[in-house]
Chain A
Amino acid sequence: MKRRLLVLVLFIAIPVHAEDAAAILARVDAFRNPLQSFAIDVDLTSYTRDGKSESSKFRVYGKGSDRSVVEFVAPAADKGKFLLMMRDAMWIYMPSASRPIRISPLQRLMGQASNGDVARTAFTVDYNATALTEEPLDGKRTWVLDLVAKDPTVAYNRVRLWVDASTSQPLRADFYVVSGKLIKRAYFREFGNMSGRRVITAIEIEDLLRTGNRTVMRYANLTARDNPEKMFTKDSLGKW
C-alpha cells in the first residue's frame, strides 16, 4: 500500500510551493556562486557550425551576484584588456585607449559577453518560480521550474530550469525572451570540488539563433578573495 502511494506521489505533478521552489533555486545558485567575494579562472572555447573553434582564458573577480571584473589572460592579443560587468552596464578597458568604453546592451548581445551573462544568471535574485513539475531527463528524476523575470530589466524574460532531484544540481536551462522565443540553452555538464564546495566546473551554451554555434566554459581555481567595492567602478579598470 505504502509503495503504491509513494509511486503515485512520485509520478504526479506537484503544485509548486513557493518555499520549495525558492529553496531549490537557492541550492542551484550555490553551485554557481558559492562565495560572496571570489576569483575564478575561466577557460572559454567557442565552436562554430563549420567546426572551427577559438579559445580564450580569463580570470574573473566577482562580488555578489551582479558585479564582476573580467581580466583577459589569453590569447596574447587580448592580454591587458578588462571588462566590468554590472547588472545594467558593461564597460571594456583596452590598454590602447585612455579610458574605458561603455558597451551597449546590443553590443553585449553580440559577443561572448552574452554567454557570460547567461552563465552568471542569478536565479534567486532575478526570477520568481511560477511552476514546479517533475519530469525524467536522461533517465534521472528532475524538477522542472518555470521562472519568470521579476522586473522588465532582466535580460531573459523566462527561464525553464531542469534540476537533478537527488543532488539539486542544475542540469539544463532554456532561456526565453519576451516574445516567447527560445534564444539560448545551457547544459551544466560537469561538477567538481573547489575551495571546499561543490561547484559547476563546465557549462555548455547553445546559440539557438545561430544553430551549430556553441560555447563551452570551464571553471577552475575558485578562491575566496576580498574584492573591495571600488574595484567595480569603471575608473578602476585602468589601474590594474
Chain B
Amino acid sequence: MLMKIALRNIFRNRRRSAITLLVIVMGAIGLILFGGYKARTFWGLRESTIRTRLGHLQVYKLGYSNAQSQKPLEYALDNPSEIRREIERDPRVRMTAQQITVMGLVSNGEKSETFMATAVEPEKDRQMGSQRMVAGTDLPNDDPDTIIVGRGLATAMHAKPGDYLTLMTTTASGSLNAADVRVTGIFTIGVKEFDDRAIKMPIRGAQQLLQTNKVEKLLVFLKNTDDTATVHSALQKMFTDRGWKLEMKEWSQLASFYKQVVLLYNGIFGFLGLIVFAIVVFSVANTIIMSIFERTREIGTLMAIGTTRGRIWRMFLIEGFFIGLLGGIFGLGGGAILAWIINHGNVMLPPPPGYTVGYRLEILMQSGTLITAFTISIFTATLSSILPALKASRLKIVDALGHI
C-alpha cells in the first residue's frame, strides 16, 4: 500500500515530478556519457601506447630492472631468437620485436648533440607505426648503416634525407666507437622534447656500434590486451621450466603517462560527478519537501487514524526511491540512445597537442558505467529523501491537521 501511495503521488504533481526526474535523468545521462567518453579515451590511449611503444609485455635479462649500470647492455638477452621462437608458439601472441636503447653523440662534422636511439627491427617497427615520416623514407630492412632522425634533431644537425652523420657511443665493453650512417628519413612522434633527441636505427647497426650480438629487450604483442596477465604467467612458467634467467614487465607497469592521464581524468570526472550529485540531492530533496508541505494535512490524518511515525517515514523514503528508480531507468535509456547517436554521428574533436588531425568522438558503453549511473540515481534520490521524510514523521498531529 505504501508503494501504491508513493508511486501514485509521484504522478500526482506531474510537472514537478517531471522536472525532478529530468534532473536525475540528466545526471544519469551525464555520468553515462562522460564515463563512456573517459573509458573510450583510456582505451584509445592504452591501446596506442601498447601498440606503438611498449608492447603488452617486455622481456629482459634477470636483474635488468634493478641494475644501475653505466655500461650499455650489461644485462642483455643473449639468445633472443630462441626466446622469440618459444614465445611466438603461444597463439595469443601476435608478434615479438627486438629492441636496444642506445645513447651517444651524433655529429655532422661541425657540431655534435646527444641522441637517444631506439634500435629496432625495421619490419616490426613499421607494424608498430609509432612515428610519422615528415621527409624521406622509413628504415630499409637490410641496411644497418642507416638511421631516421627526429625532426628537432634533424634541424639541429642540418640534416636532410641522404646526408651522412656520425654516431659516437661507448661499446658494451666500454671502449669508444663511432660509425658513419646515412639519414634515410626524418620523423616526428608528436612530442617535441622527444623529436629533439630521437633516432631510430636498425638493430644490426646498433649491435655493430656496441660490438655485441645481444639484444636489450624483447617486446611481446598480444592479440588481446585482456590476455596480458595470463600470458605473463604462462611465459614466466616457460622461462622457469627452461632455466632461462629472464624477467618481464607488463605494459601497465611501464605506462606512466597513461597512468597519469587516468588519474587526471578520474580526478576531473570525480569532481564533476560530485557537483552533479549535489545538484540531484538538492533537487530531489526540494521535491520531497514540497510534496510533504502540500500533504501535511494528509500526514496528520494518516497519523490520527493509526499510522506510525516509522511508516510515514518509509512512505516518503519510498517516494524518493521510486523517483530515483524512474530517473535511473530513463537515464539509462536516454544515455544509451544518446551514446548510440553520438557514435554514429561522426562528431569530430580538435587535434590533441602535438597531432595534426582531429579524432572522432566516441562513447564506450560499459556495463560498469551503466550500473553505476543507475545505482547512483537510486541511491542519491533515496538519500535525499531521508531527512525530509524524517521531519514529516515528526510532525505534530494537531498542527498538521490544522495546516492549510
Contact = CB atoms under 8 A, between A and B. Distances in A.
- Are any A and B Cβ atoms less than 8 Å apart in their complex? yes
B292 interface: no
A159 B157 CA distance: 29
A210 B208 contact: no
A106 B175 contact: no
Interface in B57-110: 70-71, 103-105, 107, 109-110
Contacts, number: 79
A65 to B, nearest CB: 17
Contacts of B174: 88, 105, 152-153, 155
Given A102-B70, A105-B70, A105-B71, A183 B175 contact: no
Interface residues of B, number: 27
Interface in B174-212: 174-180, 208-209, 211
B14 interface: no
A109 B115 CA distance: 13
A181 B179 contact: yes
B319 to A, nearest CB: 69
B286 interface: no
Given A178-B177, A181-B180, A109 B211 contact: no
Nearest to B68: A102
A58 to B, nearest CB: 23
Nearest to A178: B177
17 contacts: A105-B170, A106-B104, A109-B104, A152-B171, A155-B176, A156-B175, A177-B168, A178-B171, A179-B208, A183-B168, A183-B178, A209-B105, A209-B168, A210-B107, A210-B110, A211-B109, A212-B110
Given A106-B105, A154-B175, A178-B176, 19 more contacts: A102-B70, A106-B169, A106-B170, A152-B171, A152-B175, A152-B211, A157-B175, A157-B177, A177-B176, A177-B177, A178-B175, A178-B177, A178-B211, A181-B166, A181-B179, A183-B176, A183-B178, A209-B178, A211-B109
Interface of A: 49, 88-89, 102, 104-106, 109-110, 149, 151-157, 177-179, 181, 183, 209-212
Interface of B: 70-71, 103-105, 107, 109-112, 114, 166, 168-171, 173-180, 208-209, 211
Of all A-B residue pairs in the complex, the 5 with the closest CB atoms, nearest first, are A152-B173, A105-B170, A209-B107, A178-B177, A153-B174
